[in-house]
Amino acid sequence: MASRMRTDAHTCSIEWDEDIDAVVFRWHGFASRDRFREGARALLEAVRSTEASKLLVDAQNITAHDKADQR
């Protein structure tokens, strides 16, 4: 069973799944440069705080960055 650790409904969610003893991170769609960084930092903090040795990332819904971020 997963317990929610953090959610930004438009950008990402982070959960702890005790069945697989892993942090589960999901991107929900487009992430601006700042939101992408916030999500990545939150993910690192979740891994550190849980001392997780496993991480599952679902990135199927993230879309490409805008032109400014591609430079």
pLDDT (tens digit per residue) in 6-36: 677 678 999 999 999 999 999 998 888 888 8
The confidence band for 45, taking pLDDT boundaries of 50, 70 and 90, is very high
**Model-level pTM?**
0.80
Residue ranges of the domains in the chain? 2-66
Closest by Cα among 6, 2, 65 to 41? 6
So what's the pLDDT on residue 57? Answer: 96
Identify the residue with better confidence: 68 or 46: 46
Single-letter residue type at 41? R
CA 15 vs. chain centroid, Å, equals: 9
Average pLDDT of the chain? 86
If phi over 0 gives left and psi between -120 and 50 gives alpha, with beta otherwise, what is residue 47? alpha
Q: Any residues with CB less than 8 A from the CB of 27 and at least 6 apart, and which?
A: 11, 12, 39, 57, 58, 59, 60, 61, 62
